[in-house]
Chain A
Amino acid sequence: MLLIKLSLRNLLRQKRRNILLGSAMAIGVCILVVANSFSHGISDIMFNKVMNYVTGHVAIRFNERGGVMREIFRDRARVFAAVKNEPLIESADEAVGMFARAIGNGRSDNIILVGVDTRKGLSEKGRKEVEESFRLIEGTWKDMESPAIENPVIISEEKARYLNVKKNDIVRVRFRNMFGQDQAERLTIAGIMKNDNIFMQPVVFLELSREKKMLGYRSYETGSLKLKIKDPQKNAFAVADRIHEKLRPGTAVIYASAAGRSGRRPAILLGFKSDDQSKKQIAGLLKLSSGSFEKTFRKDGVIVPAGLARELGVTAGSEMTVRYDRKFEKTPREAVLHVSAVCAAGDYPGRDVILLSDSGFYDLYYFDLPAGPGPGAEAYSAAAAGAWSGLVAPEWVLLKRTFNTEDYTKKYQEIARNKWKGTTIDVSTMYETASDILKLESVLNIITISAVLVLFFIILLGVVNTLRMTIRERTREIGTVRAIGMQRSDVRDMFILETFFLTLFSSAAGSLLGFIAMRLLSLITFHPQDNPLGMLLVNGHLYFLPTFPGIAGSVLLIIAIAVVTAWFPARRAANLSPAQALGHFS
């Protein structure tokens, strides 16, 4: 108490000097607070306003058969099951988007068609968010669902102006569907929206089911999934990990019946992996009685075990048909297969098992997903495959989780290199995919760090100089209090406390100044279309998001620097011999 009183009163004693140093510190804190809030604002725009609509906080992505463009998963229900019962997920949406060339009245431009699930119904919060971010100046969101309008869409004001189209005009679009075929469609402008930032300008909203149909999805199939997570910064990684765990693939099995010359028998169709290493291993396990392993890689080639071949009346070179019930369609699927080899003895995945190379197997499996084993029939278990368990084709390929952008990019390069025959599933958070955004943030962080460094030197020089002067002026006073009986450590603490309070008050003033500065800066209106920094704006204004930890962190950092800096001169003052200090006349 005594020390606090003394240091506060001493602080007031050299007003001019302390106000000067305090102002410098306050300006520093102000810059820090503004920079910090600005960079938080940017991450907020990027992650919570942009990425949120593009990939969600966590995305589940599919690439069928190694095709980077082929973002499809054939069993929509199965993935939605993996995200069910997860309380941290606020919403799970199909993210279907495509680039298209739009031809308006006399002008054409690229657009991004984004599917919106209007049927699902939004939560109150979600509706508010959407209405805030995309304010309609013409039309209503409801019009997008209207069956009376041909492909109703909502387009941004800027894009509409560029394409020279008005409400109810028709825009023709050309695009490539998921299977690489060029398509053309007609869209009707049902609404025009004003939006927050430049990223959203090329976006054209279309009802999800219509968009899926255009791209070639069937109703039970899905594109990528985007998930909104509660408190994503904290939870996104854990949720992604849990979903990843739930998406571990089993063995892909087709429960079928096979028919040859002598009759029809139940059979199980499995794929085998056809990469070089697996091939070598399989060649070692198989003991062929006729035909050749190589021929199995031809289209529709199969390996049949000797017992089953005898029952069906097929030999190497002959044809057979298989038939199986489909999961999502009523009629069964039939296919003609060629017996490329008959396996006599040796290790084999099962006596009813017909083996196809994975490439041929997935042709059937993905295009017409098979139903389960059916009543009374026994499910095929991977354990029965024995030595084959690692060699039979899985339902899909689950890509391992990555935690930074570098690994994520590598992972996708590997997809292209590996030529996976199955569909790959990737679960990732926006933090590992948003490399450019993170880069932008790190640039801002560098700016902040430079501000800290400058501030650091101001404090260092200011505090050391001020204290040195103060100590020289007060030497006799130090001698007096030491003679009266104040301990060395108390003298030291008194000077440190003085610096501490000066920094504390300056930080408070600086934070206040920062808030005022942010207030003023956000009053300025920018015009995003002719400003490359438009993406940093919200409704044409700079956007700041001050956070308590950010500000408290800055303030603590500055106080820490100041106190550490004050330590040494303060200790020197405390170590003065009292007799010498008393004999000092200034």
Chain B
Amino acid sequence: MNIIEIRDLKKDYPLGDTIVPALRGVDLTVAAGDFMSIIGPSGSGKTTLLNVIGCIDLATAGSVKVGGREITALDDRQITDIRLNKIGFIFQTFNLIPVLDVIENVEFPLLLMKRPAAEARRRADKLIEEVGLKEYAAHRPSELSGGQRQRVAIARALVTNPDIILADEPTANLDSVTGASILELMRRMNEIEKTTFIFSTHDANVLKYARRIVRIKDGLIEKEPVAA
């Protein structure tokens, strides 16, 4: 089953009087449960593609189906609901909420879903344990290292049991050892939770973690080699 189906996706950014074409006709399907990497040089359109898939940016043209649902025609409230329920995000800069401690950050999406507080707490506890931060539950993000913060972000992305987790260069702000451990954690969670992961990178070293690799250049996807 394909969790994502993209047909002829175009995305232009207006820049003053000119238009910058960031995506110029992308076709892409992603199978449920995949662990996929998008690689490409800087400015090739990785972030733009992930944003469109993650419903935080709108396509200029083309069709984007997430979980079988066409998202290009939805209003803001519906799209926000899709983000909340179907998609998890991991950011390059971690983006935790500084005024909430680790456990509160992780349970945050569940509270947005109006889940009972006790149930949210239980689920968040479990994930914090899985990402190995049990002792840090009561710490604020500012008291954690980069790698620990990214683990919290992974727990937060997973807490709602989303269909897809999108990670835009999740290791770019980490040293290579920590980066590797983060990717290993993602890979393990992919296996435990069966969640689809798509992460972008411009670092060829991390490609070995990917089950599938998609190369992007100048807003177009390069022909994929036959899977190894």
Contact = CB atoms under 8 A, between A and B. Distances in A.
B109 A13 contact: no
A480 B95 contact: yes
Contacts of A9: 99-100
A61 interface: no
A486 B56 contact: no
Given A483-B56, A487-B77, A582 B91 contact: yes
A363 interface: no
Interface in A114-135: none
Contacts of A582: 56, 91, 95
A577 B91 CA distance: 17
Given A485-B83, A577-B57, A476 B109 contact: no
A30 B117 CA distance: 40
A97 B98 CA distance: 75
A488 B76 CA distance: 8
Interface in B19-78: 47, 51, 54, 56-57, 76-77
A10 interface: yes
B112 A485 contact: yes
Nearest to B104: A5
A23 B100 CA distance: 27
Contacts of A577: 56-57
A316 to B, nearest CB: 100
Given A486-B112, A488-B76, A579 B56 contact: yes
Interface residues of B, number: 27
A479 B80 CA distance: 12
Contact of A485 (B85, B91, B93): B85
Interface in A453-482: 476-477, 479-482
Given A482-B56, A485-B112, A579-B57, A476 B80 contact: no
A185 B91 CA distance: 100
Given A483-B56, A488-B76, A579-B56, A6 B99 contact: yes
Interface in B77-95: 77, 80-81, 83-85, 89, 91, 93, 95
Contact of A481 (B81, B91, B93, B97): B97
A6 B81 CA distance: 20
Contacts of A479: 56, 95
Interface residues of A, number: 25
Contacts of B93: 476
Nearest to B86: A485
A487 B80 contact: yes
B99 A10 contact: yes
B56 A476 contact: no
A582 B98 CA distance: 15
Contact of B83 (A12, A483, A488, A490): A483
A485 B97 contact: no
Nearest to A489: B77
Contacts of B100: 6, 9
A484 B83 contact: yes
Nearest to A8: B99
B98 A13 contact: yes
Given A2-B111, A482-B56, A577-B57, A477 B77 contact: no
B156 interface: yes
A540 interface: no
Interface in A531-586: 577-579, 582-583
Contact of A476 (B57, B76, B85, B95): B95
A482 B80 contact: yes
B112 A484 contact: yes
B108 interface: yes
Contacts of A579: 51, 56-57
A13 B56 CA distance: 27
A262 B134 CA distance: 127
Contacts of B113: 485
A72 to B, nearest CB: 78
Given A479-B95, A481-B97, A483-B83, 9 more contacts: A2-B111, A483-B54, A483-B56, A484-B84, A484-B109, A485-B81, A487-B80, A579-B57, A582-B91
Interface of B: 47, 51, 54, 56-57, 76-77, 80-81, 83-85, 89, 91, 93, 95, 97-100, 108-109, 111-113, 117, 156
30 contacts: A6-B97, A9-B100, A12-B99, A13-B99, A477-B95, A477-B97, A477-B98, A480-B91, A480-B95, A482-B80, A482-B83, A483-B56, A483-B89, A484-B83, A484-B84, A484-B89, A484-B109, A484-B112, A485-B81, A485-B83, A485-B109, A486-B84, A486-B112, A490-B112, A577-B56, A578-B57, A579-B56, A579-B57, A582-B95, A583-B47
